[in-house]
Structure 1
Amino acid sequence: MTMPGPRASDAPRLAAWPVTGRLAAGVVSLIALLTLPLTAGAQPPTAPDLGPNVLVFDPSMPAAAIQAKLDAVFREQESSQFGEGRYAYLFRPGTYDLDVNLGFYTQAIGLGAKPDDVVIRGSVHSEADWMKGNATCTFWRGAENLSVLPTTPAPIHFAVSQGTSFRRVHVRGDVDLWDGGWSSGGFLADSRVDGRVNSGSQQQWLSRNAEWARWSGANWNMVFVGVTNPPSEPWPRKPYTVIAETPRIREKPFLVTDERGLLAVRVPSLRASPSKGVSWSGGEDRGTTVSLDRFHVARAGKDTAATINSALGAGKHLLLTPGVYHLDEAIRVSRPGTVVLGLGIATLVPDRGTLAMVVDDVDGVTLCGFMVDAGKATSPALLRVGTPGKKDHAGDPTLLADVYCRVGGATVGSADACILMDSDDVIGDNLWIWRADHGAGAKWDVNRAKNGLIVGGDRVTIYGLFVEHFQEYQTLWKGEDGRVFFYQCELPYDAPTQDAWRHDGVNGFAAYKVADGVARHEAHGLGVYGVFLHSPTKCENALETPEGPGIRIHHVISVWITGRPGTETTHIRNGKGPAVNASRRTALTED
């Protein structure tokens, strides 16, 4: 489809169109002359340059022009699993008649103070048509802070797997989390669905602080934390884990328009008391609004680690606009309260074997909405939060929300570990940490990576932890008083021999390891899955933990999906629980 180009008479609409070629200077000059308020469809002259892949839409724009642009981006991104395209759609408050189909590395974001300020009359959705309905590779996309009013009785589809988010969304109808084939997600938080949510084929799912009329569907591991009207069938009759209230959470920051009509970032306050349901039911939630002029607005291909660090050192927050950022040194976050917000799954790549980002052991840092991709030179880790120590951050914890790490897949890459979490009191909210099982460099001796997550801090709480395919312990937890609500792990597919995947005479490495000597740890709803494609390898235990009254592990499922004859996960935890193999594919704990 050929898109109509913008006309000079369409000046209020020009901010939504990427500007390239010989027209660029003239269009930029024209935009600089505009003084219309933001609600009229134009950015003020002081608006930062968000780059060509942030598309800002206004209700005054012709719906057909917006739809044409959305369709063009979707065609580019539909099957671009490992491409470099990154996009964010920003919808100013108002009502739109649109079909927003989300491809890879694409976010749809409302700019209102609450979700109902932006109404998409039509659909915001994700399917897996590019894989004939199989959504097990439908990664890296999201929707947040908007409402959807379906124009047909059919549910909207959000058929996704890991590395996706559905946040602060109000659906005035039904939602299906599948579209006819397999799906392996996923994450829904701070959202309201007026109708039914049907999980269909979803293998697992985490819902946190959500509201709906009814949930239907179950497969392997469904976890509900602080949800209004969760399913009532008990474990293990149905694989439902229900935690009545969310112990403590700080919601992910989000873009808004402030009282001047300028873009700003809303930073929600910590909900330290147990909570249930959405944060925005009474209107705007508690928090602070930070003007975008207090952010360094980074552009891939233009900014380097040096320019970003200079801005952070000068006291700026950081907005990563969509793109792939190649780094020759680590980004360093040292100021308490710093917000690092990515758009369009902005991606950091450490090219020289350094970390991509290092966060000092300070209060209240927020890292959200971006991915770290391992480079060719092996990094000791991709992201480090804090340093080993005992600083108390309970009153102002660091938050990691929608943070994803990847080793291999898009490019050849390696890292000893992905995330080192050494600060105390950190909150994690939707983390996918992935050693690639397909794509570029996805081979045992190429995309080398020992561990996905290593937690050294105390009182760390994670909602939605997905860790897959690492070559030693997928997750290694050393800190006290850790809490995990939902865990999903696939063991490595590609261990060539048992000798290559063994330690201290033990077959394999546990998917979830709580270190010896830890006295207090709590985890709810853990799924460990095995796909053994090569030699007849075995994993002795899905989980390994100390024994004792302070170690509380509830609702574990172990599944043998497929494999060579003789492969298995021999026990669920600590030498107990039945094996899963070709004869018995699924085993659950009774607690």
Structure 2
Amino acid sequence: TSLQTVALIREKPFLHITRLGEWAVFVPAVRRDTRGTSWAGGAPAGTSIPLSRFLIAHPDTPVSAINAALAKGKHLLLTPGIYRIREPLRIEHAGTVVLGLGLATLLVEQGSAAIVVADVPGVAIAGLLIDAGPVETPVLIQVGPRGAKHDHSRNPTLLADLFFRVGGATVGKAQTCLEINSHHVIGDHLWIWRADHGNRDGGRVHVGWTESTADQGLIVNGDDVTIHGLFVEHFQKYQVTWNGERGRTNFYQCELPYDPPNQAAYKAGKTRGWAAYKVADTVTSHEATGLGIYANFTADPSIVLDSAIEAPRRPGVRFASITTISLGTGQGTIAHLVNDAGAAARPGAVRQTLTRYP
């Protein structure tokens, strides 16, 4: 799938050295109806922020000190390491930049969120691994409070190169990894993952249907949210739930959970399984292009997912370039691609495609 242009994109902030030889963080400008890289025609548009305006944090920097700096309007640079989080980082000022290096990891230990963002414009959060801990958290990152109403169309918030992990290195439990409530948010390369397979017997990974648990990867409640490169895998209910209007996804990859023990444990009411991409019945406008959804129900290959994508049947809700695959020569069945459209990916016919819906 190739797109000629994208309606809205913002590239990730990055460290650079100014012409005066000073360290700074460059924040690229929002681009609209564009293609290619921002630097192809010379120096990109954007803002350079001196490093003196950042708190440079280390894993032993207290969260209280980080929050005090953020409350005063400082930006945040997180150096490599594991930050043990017992209360969320709170972003309350418009235009705040939070940039992780190398890969800075926020490990939530006591069931709080890792990051909570107020309903303010122009925030940029990039380059972080968010790890759920053994105490269940309702949400790991929340962008805007529920019911957020402000218009941020002139200066959208950016979430870039963010990786979420529930289980694996440690026991992890979360209800939802990422909840976007603010309007006008851009996502660029989000990988949201629940651990469901690995060398459990060897003790090197913490996986299992009842050990590392998580209901949903992503919930979008805000309007005009655009995501480029969305990866959501192995959650125990809906992988993605999209409630906001005028949402856009360009490229979505989803592997369904390996480990439901049986069909009875993996049902949404009377529906077999939980859709990998769920657009709420109330939505009137939504577009998604380039979606791949894969079944690998190794714990019980007889499990069926009725529909990879569930969405309202309206002209304004459109999907393009969709594929479903039953992996491992047929470890489970995906009966339809979108609602009741498309043939089953199953043993003997492991891949199905749908060019457009409707």
User: Normalising by the residue count of structure 1, what TM-score does the alignment of the two structures yield?
Assistant: 0.58
| Structure 1 match to 2:202 | none
| Structure 1 match to 2:193 | 434
| Structure 2 match to 1:472 | 237
| Structure 2 match to 1:575 | 340
| Structure 2 match to 1:278 | 37
| 1:539 and 2:297 matched | no
Work out whether residues 531 and 563 of structure 1, in 8 Å CA contact, stay in contact via their aligned partners in 2. Answer: no
| Structure 2 match to 1:200 | none
3-state DSSP of counterpart to 1:310: helix
Q: Distance in 2 between matches of 1:563 and 1:296?
A: 51
Select between 339-348 and 254-263 the one with higher mean Cα deviation. Answer: 254-263
| Structure 2 match to 1:217 | none
| Structure 2 match to 1:341 | 99
Which of the two has greater strand per residue?
2
Task: Work out which of the residue numbers 270, 274, 277 in structure 2 matches 1:512.
Answer: 277
Work out whether residues 533 and 563 of structure 1, in 8 Å CA contact, stay in contact via their aligned partners in 2. Answer: no
3-state DSSP of counterpart to 2:173: coil
Deviation at 1:564, TM superposition (A): 7.1
| Structure 2 match to 1:396 | 155
| 1:420 and 2:179 matched | yes
1:300-352 Cα deviation digits (max 9, x unpaired): 1x212211101101111000000010011010000000000000021001110
Q: Distance in 1 between matches of 2:177 and 2:30?
A: 26
Q: Distance in 2 between matches of 1:411 and 1:286?
A: 41
User: Aligned partner of 1:561: which letter?
Assistant: L
Q: Distance in 1 between matches of 2:329 and 2:216?
A: 23
| Structure 2 match to 1:296 | 55
CA gap 1:288/1:477 in 2 versus in 1, 3 angstroms: same
3-state DSSP of counterpart to 2:42: coil
Task: Work out which of the residue numbers 317, 320, 344 in structure 2 matches 1:551.
Answer: 317
Work out whether residues 534 and 563 of structure 1, in 8 Å CA contact, stay in contact via their aligned partners in 2. Answer: no
CA gap 1:563/1:498 in 2 versus in 1, 3 angstroms: farther
Deviation at 1:576, TM superposition (A): 1.9
Deviation at 1:259, TM superposition (A): 3.0
Q: Distance in 2 between matches of 1:466 and 1:503?
A: 22
Deviation at 1:478, TM superposition (A): 0.3
| Structure 2 match to 1:450 | 215
3-state DSSP of counterpart to 1:355: coil
Q: Distance in 1 between matches of 2:355 and 2:19?
A: 54
Work out whether residues 350 and 375 of structure 1, in 8 Å CA contact, stay in contact via their aligned partners in 2. Answer: yes
User: Normalising by the residue count of structure 2, what TM-score does the alignment of the two structures yield?
Assistant: 0.95
Among all aligned residue pairs of Structure 1 and Structure 2, give the percentage whose two residues are the same amino acid. 48
| Structure 2 match to 1:213 | none
Q: Distance in 1 between matches of 2:127 and 2:305?
A: 34
Q: Distance in 1 between matches of 2:193 and 2:148?
A: 28
Deviation at 1:374, TM superposition (A): 0.2
3-state DSSP of counterpart to 2:2: strand
Work out whether residues 162 and 190 of structure 2, in 8 Å CA contact, stay in contact via their aligned partners in 1. Answer: yes
Q: Distance in 2 between matches of 1:360 and 1:542?
A: 33
1:115-162 Cα deviation digits (max 9, x unpaired): xxxxxxxxxxxxxxxxxxxxxxxxxxxxxxxxxxxxxxxxxxxxxxxx
Unaligned runs of 5+ in 1: 1-240
Larger radius of gyration: 1
| 1:371 and 2:129 matched | yes
Unaligned runs of 5+ in 2: 199-204
Work out whether residues 330 and 350 of structure 2, in 8 Å CA contact, stay in contact via their aligned partners in 1. Answer: no
Alignment of 1:211-290 (within 5 A): 241-271=1-31, 273-290=32-49
Q: Distance in 2 between matches of 1:395 and 1:500?
A: 45
Deviation at 1:367, TM superposition (A): 0.3
Deviation at 1:389, TM superposition (A): 2.4
- Name which structure has the greater RCO, CA cutoff 8 Å, separation 6+: 2
| 1:385 and 2:165 matched | no
Alignment of 1:460-499 (within 5 A): 460-499=225-264
Deviation at 1:563, TM superposition (A): 7.0
Q: Moved runs in structure 1, 4+ residues, more than 6 A? A: none
Q: Distance in 2 between matches of 1:547 and 1:509?
A: 18
Q: Distance in 2 between matches of 1:269 and 1:577?
A: 40
3-state DSSP of counterpart to 1:361: coil
3-state DSSP of counterpart to 2:139: coil
